[in-house]
Amino acid sequence: MYEIIQKLHSGWAYLALLVLVIAVVNSFLGLSSKKEFTEKDRKIGLFALAAIHTQLLIGFIVYFISPLGFSQLGQMKDAALRLTSLEHPLINIIGIVLITIGWSKHKKLTTSESKFKTLSIFYGLGLVLILSRIPWNLWF
Ligand code: HEM
């Protein structure tokens, strides 16, 4: 069970990060070229949101069954265990919250520029936070 969920969390991360990078690049390009915010742009943002929420869900499961997750929460002196049991989950949850806020905010805005700007800032910050706390040595 643990191995399946761990592999799913590891594999889905490629897809989730790829779609998130596409959404960030797309919103920056839309903002800089002052183009109209279309249904395609909305869908790209929505796919990124859905992919990252799925990753969050799998993350919660893996956190409680992994030997590197919740069970190691007290191990503050070991940098690798601190990363997987505290920093990675906490910072990534904050990143995902920012992405979710960006998505809800953009829906209430009316101009294309403000939509692209909001998605660029919130999705961009979320991506930076997530990338800052990936356990890269476990992944590759
Ligand atoms: C966008 C969000 C996230 C991304 C992109 C992500 C990505 C990753 C990656 C690439 C790894 C290394 C996988 C491997 O071992 O091959 C990993 C490990 C891990 N993640 Fe996440 N993660 C995310 C969110 C979360 C959340 C929210 C939690 C917990 C609530 C979590 C808990 C863990 C744990 C415990 C491990 C170590 C698993 C193990 O090897 O036993 N992750 N994550």
Please indicate whether residue 31, judged by its CB atom, sits closer than 6 Å to ligand 1.
no
Number of domains, the chain = 1
CB 48 within 8 A of CB 31: no
For the whole model, what pTM was predicted? Answer: 0.95
Q: Is the dihedral of CA 127, 133, 135, 137 positive or negative?
A: positive
Q: What residue has token string 């990753």? A: 55
Q: Tokens standing for 121?
A: 């800032």
pLDDT at 2 over 90: yes
Angle at which helix 88-108 crosses helix 39-65, to 10 degrees, equals 160
For 46-102, the pLDDT digits (tens) are 999 999 999 999 999 999 999 999 999 988 899 999 999 999 999 999 999 999 999
Domain containing 92: what range?
Answer: 2-139
Quick check: helix, strand or coil at residue 66? coil
Pocket test of ligand 1: the residue of 6, 71, 92 to mutate, having most ligand atoms within 8 Å of its CB, is 92
- 87 Cβ contact partners less than 8 Å away, ≥ 6 residues apart: 133
Provide the greatest CA pair distance for the chain: 50
Distance CA 78, CA 100 (A): 32
